[in-house]
Amino acid sequence: RAMAERRRARARLASFYGGGDGAAGEDAAAEDDMDIDGSAFNADRYVSNLLQYKSLEQIVQRGNSMVSEIKSLDSDMQMLVYENYNKFISATDTIRAMKHRVEDMEGQMSQLEANFGMITSASDSVSSAFSARRSQLEKLNGVKKNLTKLQFLMDLPARLQRCVDDGHHSLAVKCYAKARRMLSAVGHVASFEGIRTESALIMRNLNKQLTARLQDEAHLDAEMLGDTIYLLLKLQGNEESLLKEYLSRRRRDIHERMAAFVSSVPKAAEDGAVRQGEEGAEGDGDDDDGDDDDSLPPAAAFVKQLCEAIVPQLLQVHSAWHSRFMGADGEQRDDESAAPSAPSEELKEQMLLEMLSESTGALIDVCRSRLSEEQVPPSELLSGLHRLLIGLGPLHEAAPAAKLLVRVAKAADALARHAIDERVSAMQAGLAECVANISKLDDDGRPSAEELHARLNGAIASVSELVRHALGDTAPLLVPLCEMINLRADSMAKHLVNGMYNALQAMARAATAPSSSARDVLLRAGLCMHMAAAGVAQVPTLLKSQLSPHGLGGAALGFDGAAMTREMGRARDALMQSFVEMQAQKLSRLVSERVSSTNWLVCPAPRAVTGLVQLVVSELRQMQTLAAQLFPAEPVRALLPQGPFPAASSVMQLVQQRTRQSNSSSSAITKDLQRMFTRKISFGASEGKATLAGMLTHVTKLALKTMLEEVRVATFGCAGFQQVQVDCSMLRWVLAPTSNDEEAVLALLDEIFISCQDRCLDCVPMEQPVVEALCESERQRLLLSLA
């Protein structure tokens, strides 16, 4: 309703002002012809539309409302007419009053005219009376002026001398400058020549004196130096070289102050309370000044104090330069014969800016080197940079052209990157240490399974802690810092993310560094396994939770978690493989030593399973315990004889049969056996996911293969052969069921058996029940040893 009201009013105004303004016209054009208030209203269409689309009830309703609208329009119109009539009446009253007052004014005006006429005539008579003397007065006045000048000139040498003597150098120079113009005007008169030379002499002396002061005293204070240079300039000194001299002196002075300040402040390392002010620094981004230096962290306090010491000096240079050597001063100079060497205004401005930016640069460098010291934590760095900004603020306002804040920003950017790098490299070092220390034991003993588990978990926890810590540490360097100096925080965040990625990559590399301890390799594999499974995935999550609230989530996406997972997976696989290889080699070496050091020709008839079997079983069991840490979900298959004693393999049966039949053609037997049973066994690392059973099987196979090759170079007597028969049967009982590749293990054991009978001079296999009895007693022993 309010809308309709407003629209109506606007339409009314539009019709009053002719409806000519563009906006209204366009509005009207834009309005559709169904708008009853619009200028384009089409009554026929409206009605037909109503009839077409509305129900009778609605049409009646619309009709009623239209009637009431028409009534209200009528009353509006009446109101308007009434208001206009009122205005007309008051206008009539006003016109009547005006007419009455104008009639009174006419008399007063004519009186005023008469008065002015009288004043004119009086003034004329006074002026004619004075005109005779005026020219005389003017002449007198001129004479007096000349006399004063003369007097001034006459007194000039004395006055100059006095001024010089009293030390009012500037006054002397001012007088001389004034006099010189006069003297040059009257220079042709001989008597003035004397004055001129005399005063010139004085001034030359003064010049000498000032120059001497400039040269002799290396440490004039700023004011004095400014004065001296200013006066020397007035005395027609070479402007460019003098100005350069001024700037270089001031610069030197500032540098000396800085050096003095730096050497007077004790190094942060000696400062016991380096981190004391850290908490104070956290919230101090908002309040500007006035807080004690004590509450600031040391590096920030350093920056603040340094700024307080140096910036006023720079400001002084700036203001002195502008007041003395530039601007109005230059104009005065124009009417003198401007020295051809005089530098232009722009050049002078340029010189000043150069000096300022050079000195500020030095200041920033000092702050930068202080802030990049190792002990400066990021929050302190932030606060220090804040101080630097505050400190340089006034100078920036004075000379924005020097782009000081840009330099600060650059320095801050570099500092922040450096600090991030430092944090990240600290994290990297921590990760490397974590990897290196993973299996370092306090005592030399074999750690229990729980201990290993705890160690692995400890390493995992400390890795994630390191990452979290590094992220938390660098937080102040991202958004707060970047907001402070108007930097793009996402590039900084990207830098951090890249650093994290590289650090983790370095960790994977460190993990795969060679190690001589199988336990070490295994735990590293465990660490990498965890990283690949869960740890790496945490990093982008952490990054996201850290960065997203500040709108830097995009940078967090820069962390290629998939690639890192792959990398960790590769490291894990390499370590697993290395672990298996180490275990296999260790066991192989033991087997090899054992078999090759036995004289199989003369050994006694078998009475028990030999230590070889015990060795293999116990080594495998140890490895199983160790490696089970990595596969908590996988059930551990006990390395014990499972089920009943297995029947003799077909190879054994065949050998027993054939040897009973004939003992002569044993070579032929071998060939038959080999042809029938030899099977090519793959020793390559198993593909796919590493499992405990897979690793164990791999080691078992390699150990049996070593045993086979060692048997092939030995020569056996009857007893030796029987001993191998017993040992193989036992190994078959224990190893085959626990193995993943039972077939290969059985084939290897068969092959050992075949090779052994081949290398046997007098081959008489043992009867199966005897073998079983020996194996059974070994089983009892194994069970006992486990209990």
Partner 1 sequence: SLPAMFELSGTSSYNTQRQSRCLSALEGDTDHNTFVLATLVLRGENQLHVIDFNEDTNEVWCTRVYEHPSEVWSCVTCPAPENQDLVITAHSNGSEQRISLWRMEGVAEREHSPESATPLPPAPSKMPELLQLGVPVPLSDTRAVLWNTVLPEQVTTVHRESVRVWQLSHGAAASSAAESGHASPPDDERVFGCGRWDPHHAHALALGCGCGLITLDTRTMREALSVPSAHEQQVRCVDFNPNKPNVALTSGDDYRIKFWDLRKPSTPLLSEGAHSHWVTSALYNRFHDQLVLSCGTDSLVKLWRAASVSSAPPSLELDETDAAEDEADGVVKVFEDHEQSVFGAAWSAADAWIFATLSLDGLAVINHVPPAEKYKILL
H-type alpha helices, 399-511: 404-436, 449-474, 479-485, 489-511
Helix, strand, coil distribution of the chain in percent, nearest 5? 80, 0, 20
DSSP one-letter code for 717 = -
Listed ranges 178-186, 325-333, 371-379, 667-675: which one lies at the site for partner 1 (CB under 8 A): 667-675
Q: Which residues contact 46 (CB under 8 A, 6 or more apart)?
A: 33, 34, 36
Helices and strands per DSSP (H, E), number in the chain: 28, 0
Q: Which is nearer to partner 1, 140 or 668 (CB)?
A: 668
The encoded tokens of residue 598 equal 């036995």
The contact mask relative to partner 1 for 673-712 (x = CB under 8 A, - = no) is -x---x-x-xxxx----------------x--xx--x--x
DSSP one-letter code for 638 = P
**Rounded distance, CA 92 to CA 88, Å?**
6
Q: Which is nearer to partner 1, 668 or 773 (CB)?
A: 668
Q: Which is nearer to partner 1, 470 or 735 (CB)?
A: 735
Q: Return the bridge partners of 760, or none.
A: 716
Q: Which is nearer to partner 1, 585 or 691 (CB)?
A: 585
Answer whether 583's CB lies under 8 Å from 623's CB. Answer: yes
Q: How far is the CB of 585 from partner 1 (least distance, A)?
A: 6
Q: How far is the CB of 709 from partner 1 (least distance, A)?
A: 5
Q: Which residues contact 173 (CB under 8 A, 6 or more apart)?
A: 203, 206, 231, 234, 235
Q: Which is nearer to partner 1, 17 or 683 (CB)?
A: 683
Q: Which is nearer to partner 1, 727 or 758 (CB)?
A: 758
**Rounded distance, CA 80 to CA 701, Å?**
112
In DSSP notation, 329-341 reads HHHHHHHS---TT
Question: Rg (Cα) of the chain, in Å, rounded?
Answer: 54
Q: How far is the CB of 412 from partner 1 (least distance, A)?
A: 41
Q: Which is nearer to partner 1, 375 or 663 (CB)?
A: 663
Beta strands in 515-623 (DSSP E): none
Q: How far is the CB of 372 from partner 1 (least distance, A)?
A: 38
Q: How many residues bind partner 1 (CB under 8 A)?
A: 28
Q: How far is the CB of 580 from partner 1 (least distance, A)?
A: 11
Q: Which residues contact 460 (CB under 8 A, 6 or more apart)?
A: 527, 530, 535
581 binds partner 1 per the rule CB under 8 A: yes
H-type alpha helices, 598-717: 611-627, 650-661, 666-677, 692-713
440 binds partner 1 per the rule CB under 8 A: no
Q: How far is the CB of 350 from partner 1 (least distance, A)?
A: 49
Listed ranges 148-156, 344-352, 466-474, 587-595: which one lies at the site for partner 1 (CB under 8 A): 587-595
Q: How far is the CB of 514 from partner 1 (least distance, A)?
A: 10
Q: Which residues contact 385 (CB under 8 A, 6 or more apart)?
A: 303, 371, 408, 412, 415, 481, 484, 485
Q: Which is nearer to partner 1, 183 or 760 (CB)?
A: 760
3-state secondary structure of 421: helix
Instruction: Identify the residue among 585, 614, 622, 768 touching partner 1 (CB under 8 A).
Output: 585
Q: Which is nearer to partner 1, 500 or 711 (CB)?
A: 711
597 binds partner 1 per the rule CB under 8 A: no
Listed ranges 62-70, 194-202, 537-545, 582-590: which one lies at the site for partner 1 (CB under 8 A): 582-590
Question: What's the CA angle centered on 226, arms 222 and 230, to 5 degrees?
Answer: 175
Instruction: Identify the residue among 714, 747, 752, 774 touching partner 1 (CB under 8 A).
Output: 714
Query: How far is C-alpha 738 from the chain's CA centre?
Result: 54
Q: How far is the CB of 654 from partner 1 (least distance, A)?
A: 18
Instruction: Identify the residue among 670, 722, 723, 740 touching partner 1 (CB under 8 A).
Output: 670
**Rounded distance, CA 783 to CA 779, Å?**
6
592 binds partner 1 per the rule CB under 8 A: yes
Q: How far is the CB of 765 from partner 1 (least distance, A)?
A: 16
Q: How far is the CB of 666 from partner 1 (least distance, A)?
A: 5
660 binds partner 1 per the rule CB under 8 A: no
Q: Which is nearer to partner 1, 370 or 701 (CB)?
A: 701
**Rounded distance, CA 440 to CA 436, Å?**
8
Q: Which is nearer to partner 1, 253 or 758 (CB)?
A: 758
Element of type H or E holding 82: helix 56-166
Instruction: Identify the residue among 144, 589, 660, 781 touching partner 1 (CB under 8 A).
Output: 589
End-to-end distance of the chain based on CA atoms, in angstroms? 95
Instruction: Identify the residue among 643, 667, 687, 787 touching partner 1 (CB under 8 A).
Output: 667
Q: Which is nearer to partner 1, 214 or 708 (CB)?
A: 708
Answer whether 315's CB lies under 8 Å from 394's CB. Answer: yes
Q: Which residues contact 768 (CB under 8 A, 6 or more apart)?
A: 647, 648, 652
C-alpha distances in angstroms, 232 versus 225, 326, 758? 11, 15, 117
Answer whether 639's CB lies under 8 Å from 624's CB. Answer: yes
Cα diameter, the chain: 176
Q: Which is nearer to partner 1, 573 or 758 (CB)?
A: 758
3-state secondary structure of 214: helix
Identify which of 758, 772, 777 has the alpha carbon closest to the alpha carbon of residue 659: 758
601 binds partner 1 per the rule CB under 8 A: yes
C-alpha distances in angstroms, 336 versus 160, 177, 198, 499? 20, 10, 21, 65
Listed ranges 69-77, 315-323, 477-485, 713-721: which one lies at the site for partner 1 (CB under 8 A): 713-721
What string of H, E and C letters represents the secondary structure of 223-274? HHHHHHHHHHHHCCCCHHHHHHHHHHHHHHHHHHHHHHHHHHCCCCCCCCCC
**Rounded distance, CA 317 to CA 544, Å?**
49
**Rounded distance, CA 764 to CA 197, Å?**
142
588 binds partner 1 per the rule CB under 8 A: yes
Q: Which is nearer to partner 1, 296 or 521 (CB)?
A: 521
By CB under 8 A, the residues from 254 to 283 that bind partner 1 are none
Q: How far is the CB of 689 from partner 1 (least distance, A)?
A: 20
Q: Which is nearer to partner 1, 546 or 722 (CB)?
A: 722
Q: How far is the CB of 675 from partner 1 (least distance, A)?
A: 9
Listed ranges 67-75, 127-135, 259-267, 664-672: which one lies at the site for partner 1 (CB under 8 A): 664-672
598 binds partner 1 per the rule CB under 8 A: no
Q: How far is the CB of 683 from partner 1 (least distance, A)?
A: 4
Listed ranges 87-95, 149-157, 338-346, 580-588: which one lies at the site for partner 1 (CB under 8 A): 580-588
583 binds partner 1 per the rule CB under 8 A: no
715 binds partner 1 per the rule CB under 8 A: yes
For residue 286, which amino acid is it? D
Q: Which is nearer to partner 1, 1 or 680 (CB)?
A: 680
Q: Which is nearer to partner 1, 11 or 601 (CB)?
A: 601
Listed ranges 300-308, 521-529, 588-596, 723-731: which one lies at the site for partner 1 (CB under 8 A): 588-596
Q: How far is the CB of 759 from partner 1 (least distance, A)?
A: 6
Instruction: Identify the residue among 666, 723, 739, 740 touching partner 1 (CB under 8 A).
Output: 666
**Rounded distance, CA 243 to CA 349, Å?**
11
By CB under 8 A, the residues from 754 to 783 that bind partner 1 are 758-761
Q: Which is nearer to partner 1, 35 or 581 (CB)?
A: 581
Q: How far is the CB of 550 from partner 1 (least distance, A)?
A: 41
Binding site for partner 1 (CB under 8 A): 581, 585, 588-589, 592, 601, 666-667, 670, 674, 678, 680, 682-685, 702, 705-706, 709, 712-715, 758-761
